[in-house]
Chain A
């Protein structure tokens, strides 16, 4: 569906993307993760030609984006919806008109005339025109209302944008992005401006759409809970360089160093000394590993953090323990023996406190 290889992009002398490669399969939810300024949004914009790239290749459904001429780019964008962090809705149009707008962009009087002329000449037109005939006002109305129904806002169709909450605005954004029946949905920090609860409801909606419409979703985010909740696979981006690509649960269970740095930021006030993070797959979570380890090794340690987290449809447990320096090797060996991923977290400077989240 989407093939990116060796993609490079610079703004002036500043390199934003360096040698990025990734591929996204049909129906997949793919996450591009990183700090702000890592180049995530630029990468996303290269996919639908909102940004140009300097070298490398971006292929969408077999088409090289950089080679498309003017109208080709417009056709490509027609096949890809996009939603934004700040919603980017037209403030002077109401909910209905915002969702209807893409349909109207692709349904101008001139295009209708051209369609009719082709019909008169007995030509069938190109494939795109056959599958998407020009719409009448009634058909546009029907389409918009079914989209609004899908995002749960049918009763708000006449409302002004200003009167909506953030979550409702993003729902309108999603309906608008889906108006032209795209095969791919691009999400640029779509939940960053929303509170946690609203974020979850938007993620539920995206997942729902992904399943119902078999829509491919590429989403850019810096929020770990979004990645864990939604993404099948992800690309970790730091300073324009790809740090890791892989299945979400693999990357979280045995994080490479770069991702570890990222995950650790969510933790907590950790005491000075050696902290080890254990990750329990569900089947192991049932066993009493921790108490067993204390008995078998005859050591003392303190539990300093823990969390149950949902990855896609699975649940994993985390536990962070603080152990004496001389016992670290024994503990790690014990964990290896039980096939439990364990990792030493960055050593805490004494007195250095992080925000507590556990």
Chain B
């Protein structure tokens, strides 16, 4: 009885002691994930649009261009994130003027997620019924109108579900942001839990991450159901 009480006491005491760090780390994580998700969706969207237009069965088939884009996307997706993080530091410095802190981590996170986003968004566009696109063509809609007024609205529920997938993936990547001083929960878990032998800090971080993943996914599912 007393043993249990002391375990929970230690747990709660530890949480109270650590909550400023946990809060800061959570904010860092959310900041990095939110920003890089939005940015990668933005750039990934254009890449996905290029992919579906040039697709051999697309609106303006350009098999050559498609093959190049396709290979580039695969190339981008095959880099391990931790290596990409270091490898693109010159680019990071160029774009945000620094290589250390959470803003600097957003650049590699975004770069890593763009090909992934492009691929899953392409998938959601391809799921739009071909007949619906053909119908739009049949009454004289142009390529731009078909993409933005037919395919985009029709694919929206799937796009949102995929955005949740991208956000959850980036939540995992963001754990490695500690390497460049990006902070965040993953970083906290490694520094305290692993390097300083405080397993309870690791546990707090993991619990918060689990809750975040659940929230992101539930939000995605909720919007999907609403919009369908």
Contacts and interface: CB of A to CB of B under 8 A. Distances in A.
A174 interface: no
Interface in B140-195: 140-142, 145, 149-150, 153-154, 156-157
Interface in A157-197: 173, 176-177, 179-180, 186
A89 B139 contact: no
Contact of B136 (A75, A105, A180): A105
B97 to A, nearest CB: 39
Contact of B140 (A86, A93, A106): A106
A111 to B, nearest CB: 11
Interface residues of A, number: 32
Given A50-B134, A90-B132, A105-B145, A179 B139 contact: yes
B131 interface: yes
B: interface residue count bin: 20 to 34
Interface in A67-102: 73-78, 80-82, 84, 86-93, 101-102
A93 B140 CA distance: 19
Contacts of B24: none
A180 B138 CA distance: 11
B219 interface: no
A105 B147 CA distance: 12
B154 A88 contact: no
B156 A48 contact: no
A184 B147 CA distance: 26
Contacts of B138: 48, 50, 77, 80-82, 177, 186
B27 interface: no
A105 B153 contact: no
B139 A91 contact: no
B227 A176 contact: no
B131 A92 contact: no
B198 interface: no
B126 interface: no
Nearest to A97: B153
Contact of A75 (B131, B140, B157): B140
A317 to B, nearest CB: 40
Interface string B208-228: 000000000000000000011
A82 B140 CA distance: 11
Most buried by A among B131, B140, B157: B140
B137 interface: yes
Contact of A84 (B131, B150, B153): B131
11 contacts: A48-B138, A74-B141, A77-B140, A82-B138, A88-B134, A90-B150, A91-B132, A105-B149, A106-B140, A108-B145, A186-B138
Interface of B: 129, 131-132, 134-142, 145, 149-150, 153-154, 156-157, 227-228
